[in-house]
Structure 1
Amino acid sequence: MLKPNPRYRELKDSYLFNTIYRKTSEYLEKNPEKQVLRMGVGDVSLPLCDAVIEALHRAVDDQSAAATFHGYMPECGDAALRKAIAGYYAQMGAAVSEQEIFISSGACDDLGDILELFDQENMVMVVEPAYPEYVDTNILAGRKIIHLSSGIENDFLPLPSAQAKADILYLCSPNNPTGAVYNRSQLQAWVDFANEIGAVILFDAAYEIFIEEPDIPHSIYTLRGADRCAIEICSLSKTAGFTGTRLGYTVVPQNLIRGGMHLHEMWSRNRETRTNGVSYILQKGALAVFTPEGQQQIQKNLRVYKENAACFMKALDAAGIWYCGGKNSPYLWMKCPDGMSGWTFFDYLLQKIQVVGIPGDGFGDCGKGYFRFSTFGNPEETREAADRLCKLLAKE
């Protein structure tokens, strides 16, 4: 008799972002005349840059002629794209070889698939508040999860401690949802800790391109000993607007060995089993991101999102609200006013000013009483949302 996976019962009733969509839709059904400004789910609003669009069109044309047609791509990624990404790492000061880079259909997919490298008995540490997938994927795999608390007292940047001792350590910097970022010495402490206890860090670097300050690492591989303990997972979703196009990359160093097994070789074998490679068309579009023209163009888009962040920071500063993020990050993490819960504040904003954000409760217990705003929205709508927020909170 077939037995479904009983661990699905341990998941929350609805995925966080689906709940946001549902509540917003229900409000609009009752109030169709209202303009709702969506500053919650972190989807980008600007189109792909010209260099990427041109490369995608050329790649589509390639598929129309026998001489230039491409079928299956290498499971680990196109050699030219892997080489270009290795060059990008070199500019950061990280020695990552093209053989250590694996092209994927997005960071979200790899965050789940990468767990197949580890035994079910491994213990997992997740820093809370946390992106829900870190927790959900490990619940489904049946692993024990340690929730390492963070809060205002440590700027939502906890450091290694006895409570953090686990086999797999999730770190995200710049962080989603808090926008907090580890500086070099703080992140080095985590690398040293992982090497000391034999753990592996799963480092989510999806937002590295938003970093502005020089003492904040763009890659964990700029730190001493990281190639012996860390896997870095990256994405072009926010870097280059690929949320609907889907492409990312994961770095598994050749020096990463546990239990006499080479995780780089294991991941290569996993890719051979689990994928037939990312499409030729998408990889050609991604390659354009790493050209001088592509880099210049995506930076122009990123400046728009950073200006959005500045609008929200100005509004929260004027209202005297505590927050972190905004600088070095596309997310702002604010303390709810008047002791409100995250979901109460969500409903309050929706009803009073028709602005949608994300309740911190959805990111774990440490998120209770906090709220996240995304700065990926339309610039005009973002300015309007920030203005509405500032006026509302000024009356509190």
Structure 2
Amino acid sequence: IDPSEIFVSDGAKSDSANIQGIFSQDCVVAVQDPAYPVYVDSNVISGRTGLAGEAGYEGLVYMPCTEENGFFPELPDRKVDLIYICSPNNPTGAVATKEQLKSFVDYANEHKAVIFFDSAYAAFITDPSLPRSIYEIEGAEKCAIEMNSFSKTAGFTGVRLAWTIVPKALQTEDSEPGKAHALWTRRQNTFFNGASNVVQAGGLAALSKEGREQTDAQVAFYLENARIINEGLKSLGIITYGGGNAPYVWLKTPGGLSSWDFFDKLLGECHVVGTPGSGFGPAGEGFFRLSAFGHRENVEKAVSSIKESLQI
């Protein structure tokens, strides 16, 4: 990666929404389902998706992430132009293998599609066999744009600092290499004044030797929170996923409850709040997300309340 291919920004969230602005309005968009809502909603706002029905938006290609496929989707069953992938995934906590990412890179290069790869949680990957960047996959520089963030490692969620990589080798169906890079450069120069110097100084501190030691310790702290949540739920017989290489625990709602019914049950019986899986897309129904981002005493108190009070 050349330094000129790295764009400093005010957040991976805004970049993942804004990046679509350099692509044609009639691009066909594929999203993991369940998915981080920004991927879907920003395309809804842009007018790409059509109307919503019971199964989602008619103009989107949903790639279901289920228990059967390990919460990583199969390739689109038709030609698409833009593909959103998040690994480690929010909300499921699933992490793509190199083989899984290679299948999407090969698909994108064959069909001249572009992958938007959200790696905001890459620092939580503890398994050395799992890729932290899509550019570990041969050919990805020709088809993938990667986004990352200081929010999840250095606590910059409210401060806002991130980066997006747009390789000059990236080529779309109807443009030569370098065009996407030039368009994103123009878009950022026109619509964005840059992250503040104060915030960037904080980012440099976070990337220093001392800063890396501190952020690594913080990541380990949150992963321990995830372990505590996972073990507490499993002790009740609740089926869980994620948590090992991600800060989210994705649980299957017990007793066949809907996501929102379980939300009400968890709040009413245990005084614990989480996120209904259905809020992340049609395939999230029947699941629920708990976050490891919190103080240890609050996590332990919540898990204890669940173990003592949840009536299954």
> Would the TM-score normalized by the shorter structure come out above 0.5?
yes
Q: Give 2:122's aligned residue.
A: 208
Q: Give 2:109's aligned residue.
A: 195
- Offset, 1:161: 4.1
Pair member with larger Rg: 1
1:123 aligns with 2:28: yes
Q: Give 1:260's aligned residue.
A: 175
Which amino acid counterpart does residue 20 of structure 2 have in structure 1?
A: L
Q: Is this contact kept in 2: 1:342–1:359, CA < 8 A?
A: yes
Question: Which is bigger in relative contact order (C-alpha 8 A, separation at least 6)?
Answer: 1
Structure 2, gaps ≥5 residues long? 49-58
1:157 aligns with 2:72: yes
The partner residue of 1:168 within 56, 63, 82 is 82
- Offset, 1:260: 2.2
Q: Give 1:247's aligned residue.
A: 161
Task: List, as ranges, runs of 4+ consecutive aligned residues in structure 1 with deviation greater than 2 Å.
Answer: 390-393
Q: Aligned ranges for residues 1-396 of structure 1 at < 5 Å? A: 96-143=1-48, 144-163=59-78, 165-258=79-172, 259-261=174-176, 262-393=179-310, 395-396=311-312
RMSD of Structure 2 on Structure 1 (CA): 1.1
Q: Give 1:65's aligned residue.
A: none
Q: Give 1:31's aligned residue.
A: none
- Offset, 1:391: 2.8
Q: Is this contact kept in 1: 2:61–2:76, CA < 8 A?
A: no
Which amino acid counterpart does residue 304 of structure 1 have in structure 2?
A: F
CA distance, structure 1, for counterparts of residue 70 and residue 219 of structure 2: 25
Query: Percent identity of the aligned residues?
Result: 45
Q: Work out the number of aligned pairs and report it.
A: 299
Structure 1, gaps ≥5 residues long? 1-95
Q: Is this contact kept in 2: 1:159–1:189, CA < 8 A?
A: no
- Going by fraction, where is helix more abundant, 1 or 2? 1
**Secondary structure of residue in 1 paired with 2:30:** strand
TM-score (norm 2): 0.94
**Secondary structure of residue in 1 paired with 2:269:** helix
CA distance, structure 1, for counterparts of residue 235 and residue 280 of structure 2: 27
- Offset, 1:159: 2.5
- Offset, 1:117: 1.1
Q: Is this contact kept in 1: 2:63–2:74, CA < 8 A?
A: no
Q: Is this contact kept in 2: 1:177–1:331, CA < 8 A?
A: yes
CA distance, structure 2, for counterparts of residue 200 and residue 292 of structure 1: 35
